[in-house]
Chains A and B, each alone.
Chain A
Amino acid sequence: MRALRTAASGMAAQQLNVEVISNNIANMNTVGFKRQRAEFQDLLYQNVERMGAQSSSQGTVVPTGIQIGAGVKAGSVYRITEQGSPTQTGGTYDMAIDGRGYFQILMPSGETAFTRAGNFAVNGEGQLVTDDGYEVQPNISIPQDAVDVSISKSGQVQVKTAGQTEPAIVGQLELATFFNEAGLEAIGDNLLMETAASGPANVGTPGEVGFGQILHGYTEASNVDAVAEISNLIIAQRAYEMNSKVITTADQMLSVSAQVKS
């Protein structure tokens, strides 16, 4: 009976759905987190009777045919890169991107990672780093005697040092955009890596055409909508239950047949 396997594929799909939803809910308060969505597609179909097949020697044809589907599979789990709302934190090195783009982070391995989480800090050498201590690219050094730091919408980092009236420019932030943002690979710690699917990074100055602006003193909140996630969870649970109902029915029908005696 195919129905058993079909329903099993439905249960497996809903299980994946619940896993994706639970990850979204768990990251409801993660800075710069982008919610994910599982997208499902139907599995292949078996042609029991081909449409357009001859149904008699007079040349009449089967108009619709019989195609029986084999269930469902996860087509993809993709990130929804909708803007999260900027949350005011007042942090000196907190930045949110309003619009497209990612901050570039130099990993200890020498690779470049990308992130939307702009909750940065300064390390012992005065360099701008993530909260894991990875350097932000291009490198920005804050002098030790800095009193006030301000970051403009176009990513210019200005520092006011003690005894100076004019702020000094100490660096310029850059953002990276991609052809296919959904193709970036998440490696945890709010970081994403470039892949063949995402295409190469296009680096530019914030505020240019196609790049977002920097909001200083804000971080970007997660774009998870708790209410939507909970209702998706309910839908997934009910769908799971219905698939298990199909398995029960198929099993009972098989048992009825097995009990027929002559």
Chain B
Amino acid sequence: MENAAYIGLSRQMTLRRELDIVANNIANADTTGFKVEQLLVGTEVGERARNAFVRPGVSFVLDKGVGRDFGQAALEQTSRNLDFGIEGEAAFFKLNDGAGEAYTRDGAFTLDPEGRLTTQGGAAVQGDGGDIILDPLLGQPTVAADGTISQDGEPVGRLSIVRFDTLAALEKGGDGLYRNASNAAPVEAADARVRQGMLEGSNVNPILEITNLIEIQRAYESVSRMIENANDLSRRSVERLGRVS
């Protein structure tokens, strides 16, 4: 009898986790370079809650992982010459933030007091030959589609745009950063294009997320009702079968 309650509970637990992820997607609907996430839910054949030989095994609901959609988001024009957007799916700027290499799609860069190109968080943006240093006494930097930065017509460096063979190797580190959780080294993304004066928005689809929200809520309610009905059934059986006439 308790099987129904336990299965219902396993679904409710994943629904709550799905809600947490949808909430994070909606909160980041306006975050530069954010990639939408989704909980991957599957069935897990579990042991019976009670030892009964004739019944088939029951399947619980289990979250197997989080899927990320690395699809391209719309590029928004900011007209700032240190804002860069990547056109090309799943390609990243390579950074060095002191704790090792990090990767990001958020190209809202700035210069530190030494003229080094950094993120707003202070991680140094990596070029072909390490850090990229601009000369403030020269003109405004311009960036070609392949990432070459030049000042007054003279190239000063090239942004390193990389890609991973398996995107599952990436771990989100917060602050718009991704970290490499595997030993596989990233490769250069030759087809990705850099757009200056633009930033990539978030690829969260708000309508889809609100629909998910409703779906999660209704599913939660119906599972809750199912648990209630199962409990009711159990209570009535005890009342009726146990009655002494």
Contacts and interface: CB of A to CB of B under 8 A. Distances in A.
Interface of A: 1-4, 6-7, 9-10, 13-14, 17, 37, 39-45, 47-49, 51-52, 62-72, 75-76, 78, 80-82, 100, 177-180, 182-183, 196-200, 202, 204, 209-210, 235-236, 238-239, 242-243, 245-246, 249-250, 252-253, 256-257, 259-262
A1 B136 contact: no
B175 A3 contact: no
A229 B32 CA distance: 17
Nearest to A45: B172
A165 B108 CA distance: 54
A249 B19 contact: yes
B139 A42 contact: no
A262 B111 CA distance: 62
Given A64-B65, A250-B23, A199 B114 contact: yes
Contact of A45 (B19, B174, B210): B174
Given A3-B22, A253-B16, 20 more contacts: A2-B20, A40-B30, A41-B106, A64-B40, A64-B64, A64-B168, A65-B65, A67-B171, A68-B66, A69-B27, A71-B23, A72-B28, A75-B32, A100-B140, A179-B115, A182-B111, A239-B206, A246-B26, A257-B224, A259-B224
Interface of A, helix, strand, loop or mixed by DSSP: mixed
A180 B111 contact: yes
A204 B138 CA distance: 12
Contact of A249 (B78, B111, B217): B217
Contacts of B23: 2-4, 6-7, 10, 71, 246, 250
Nearest to B220: A253
A25 to B, nearest CB: 17
A259 B26 CA distance: 27
Interface stretch (B45-53, B85-93, B156-164, B227-235): B227-235
Contacts of B138: 209-210
A101 to B, nearest CB: 11
Interface in B139-159: 139-140, 152
Interface of B: 12, 15-17, 19-24, 26-32, 34, 37, 39-40, 63-67, 78-80, 82, 106, 108, 110-115, 120-121, 134, 136-140, 152, 168-169, 171-176, 181-182, 206, 209-210, 213-214, 216-217, 220-221, 224, 227-228, 231, 235
B219 to A, nearest CB: 10
Query: Closest 10 A-B residue pairs measured CB to CB?
Result: A10-B27, A199-B113, A64-B65, A69-B24, A3-B23, A44-B174, A6-B23, A76-B120, A180-B111, A40-B31
A213 to B, nearest CB: 13
Contacts of A256: 220-221, 224
Contacts of B106: 39, 41, 75
Contacts of B17: 48, 66, 68
Given A75-B120, A209-B152, A256-B220, A242 B29 contact: yes
A200 B169 CA distance: 42
